[in-house]
Amino acid sequence: MKPYKKVKNYARTRTIALTDTSLEHTLSAKKFFTDLADVFLFVGQVFRNTFSRGFEFREFLKQCFQIGNKSLALISITGVIIGLVLTIQSRPVLVNFGAVNMLPSMVTISLIREMGPVITALICAGKIGSGMGAELGSMRVTEQIDAMEVSSTNPIKFLIVPRVFAATLMIPLLTLYADALGILGSWAAANIKGDVSAVLFVTQAFRDVEFMDFIPAFIKSFFFGLVISLTGCYKGYNAKNGTESVGIAANSAVVMASLLVIFVDLIAVQITDLL
Amino acid sequence: MKKETKNTESVIEIRNLKKSFGTKEVLKNISLSLQKEENLVVLGKSGTGKSVLIKCIVRLLKADAGEIEVFGEDVNTLEKGKLDDVRKRIGFLFQSGALYDSMTVRENLEFPLRRIKKGLSEAEISAKVNEVLENVGLAEALNKMPSELSGGMRKRISLARTIIVDPDIILYDEPTTGLDPVTSNEISMLINDIQKKYKTSSIVITHDMECVRTVADRIIMLKDGEVYKNGNLTEFEKDSDEYISSFFKGQNVELNKK
């Protein structure tokens, strides 16, 4: 065990022993606040660069393709399965009440309001967040970001802004797509036990869905995209030296992004509730 | 650019540079100057702050104290726009090469060209890319990805990317580290060729003695964050100081074998 650090307690004019743990707490609290300040500075820089002159349009399109197109298969599979599972699990309860014809609208509402946006965001936090963390982290470690800076290119403008923009735009679109496929999966599940035509299913599904179910969820998913990409970029951009830090950047990007998605969801539901 | 008198005009002037990380003082008090069209080698053991020194020159790291004048402008206090103007005239060869992984060799070379020399036509860009690739002897690598290249080839492409914008100063961060002796020698010769052809001034950071012997016009040795000795190659080779001769004389081969 390390020796205690002696500090002077001026109030009692005698020396007390400061234990290791309390020292550690002070240091970690200090680190927490400096990190937090760092995050705000980073986000501020990103926004400042977003609205200044010269948008990297080609990079933006490239990132849209990377984020949107390359997540499509993953989102498709998840979407269909979520719809399928929700339907199969809710069915027995509704059968007890003789309310099977409520099934499509129930599943659709839960998909549109909550499952679609959150599941898509969590999947994207894993796929896109880690991708950005690892890519930017390895660019930082191999000095590529420095190289950009010395060729008088602002790395935030060239690397971060297009990624944040692309994710903020693509994740809502992926959410819509996941919702649609979820409804498809739900229809498939409804046909396992019963026999429902697609037209009847869709009619029943959208009978109770209002436009206001849809709008908050859609807005929410923009914010999901924003936090996922900002987290991934922040972690990658601020990776320390050494290959190990690339792994850490990718990992902590996923953890933080997933957590923030849940937090944003919590805030969003409170705001929607007020409306 | 015409030049009547050689080696009188200094392009980089560093005075009392200090830089520390946390409590560790890496550069304590460095003063040096780089003359026009000169190859200055900065020598020293690993961890003496050689890379930190040249990163301070382009302000990838901000110096704690002291002045760094590049073309008469103090980079430490310049605002962003002016700093970019200075950076445009400096080429930086990174230790790892720092080629952009996601781009082909051609895109790597075009990247600084399109951003620094704005308003070039496609034909001019293409001609320039081919010219620098010829210069580093790798014309066939044009459409390859960096991951397909060997270590020596990456260094050369990286060098090509540095010279493509016709910089007035080139900073080399360990250009021959991790390469075999033959390739190292080729890179050293290339540094000399580039200096002659493009009339650049350069700071070369290295601890590869063969490279030092090939490229050095003048040598500065760092020890413990300070300038230990400043002189030319013959002065260094004649010096009887133990620390200096440990670099320039062969190591104790007999002793190591036992």
Contacts with B90 from chain A: Cβ below 8 Å:
150
Q: Which 3 state secondary structure label does DSSP give B248?
A: helix
Closest CA to B12 of B55, B73, B64, B81: B73
Cross-chain Cβ contact B98/A152 below 8 Å: no
Residue B118: closest C-alpha in chain A? A152
Q: Is the pLDDT of residue A188 over 60?
A: yes
* Per-residue pLDDT at B3: 41
What does the domain layout of chain A look like in residue ranges? 1-41, 53-274
Instruction: Say whether residue A139 is in contact with chain B using an 8 A CB cutoff.
Output: yes
Residue A142: closest C-alpha in chain B? B98
Instruction: Say whether residue A147 is in contact with chain B using an 8 A CB cutoff.
Output: yes
Average pLDDT over residues B151-165: 88
The pTM score is 0.84
Q: For B256, phi and psi rounded to 5 degrees? A: -70, -30
Biggest distance spanned by C-alpha atoms of chain B? 64
Q: Is the pLDDT of residue B122 over 60?
A: yes
Instruction: Say whether residue B62 is in contact with chain A using an 8 A CB cutoff.
Output: no
Q: Which 3 state secondary structure label does DSSP give A15?
A: strand
- A&B contacts, CB < 8 Å: 46
Contacts with A153 from chain B: Cβ below 8 Å:
111, 115
Instruction: Say whether residue A153 is in contact with chain B using an 8 A CB cutoff.
Output: yes
Contacts with A148 from chain B: Cβ below 8 Å:
100
What does the domain layout of chain B look like in residue ranges? 51-88, 98-217
Name the B residues in 116-135 with CB < 8 Å from any A CB: 116
Q: Is the pLDDT of residue B5 over 60?
A: no
Give the mean pLDDT of chain A. 89
Cross-chain Cβ contact B101/A139 below 8 Å: yes
Contacts with A138 from chain B: Cβ below 8 Å:
101
Which one has a higher pLDDT value, A88 or B117?
A: A88
What secondary structure letter does DSSP report for B77?
A: T
How far is residue B157's CA from residue B155's CA, in Å, rounded to a whole number? 6
Cross-chain Cβ contact A151/B165 below 8 Å: yes
| Percent over 90 (pLDDT), chain A | 61
How far is residue A7's CA from residue A16's CA, in Å, rounded to a whole number? 6
B216: left (phi over 0), alpha (psi -120 to 50) or beta: beta
Instruction: Say whether residue B60 is in contact with chain A using an 8 A CB cutoff.
Output: yes
Interface probe for B, chosen from A30, A132, A150 (most Cβ of B below 10 Å), is: A150
Instruction: Say whether residue A142 is in contact with chain B using an 8 A CB cutoff.
Output: yes
Interface probe for B, chosen from A152, A153, A158 (most Cβ of B below 10 Å), is: A152
How far is residue B52's CA from residue B68's CA, in Å, rounded to a whole number? 13
Q: B98-217: which CATH number, 3.30.70.1230, 3.40.50.1970, 3.90.1570.10, 3.40.50.300?
A: 3.40.50.300
* Per-residue pLDDT at A12: 57
pLDDT bracket for residue A273 (50, 70, 90): confident
Average pLDDT over residues B17-33: 87
Tell me how close the Cα of A147 comes to any Cα of chain B, in angstroms: 6
For A126-185, what is each residue's pLDDT tens digit?
999 999 999 999 999 998 999 998 888 889 999 999 999 999 999 999 999 999 999 999
The beta-carbon neighbor of B98 closest among A135, A146, A153 is: A146
How far is residue A158's CA from residue B81's CA, in Å, rounded to a whole number? 17
Instruction: Say whether residue B84 is in contact with chain A using an 8 A CB cutoff.
Output: yes
How far is residue A155's CA from residue B184's CA, in Å, rounded to a whole number? 31
Residue A151: closest C-alpha in chain B? B112
* Per-residue pLDDT at A19: 64
Cross-chain Cβ contact B111/A144 below 8 Å: no
For B30-77, what is each residue's pLDDT tens digit?
888 888 888 899 988 887 888 888 899 888 888 888 888 888 888 888
Burial tier of A31 (Cβ tally within 10 Å: 0-12, 13-18, 19+): exposed
Residue B58: closest C-alpha in chain A? A150
H/E element, B229: strand B226-231
ipTM of predicted assembly, 2 dp: 0.85
Q: Which 3 state secondary structure label does DSSP give B228?
A: strand
Give the mean pLDDT of chain B. 85
Helices and strands, number each (H, E), in chain A: 12, 2
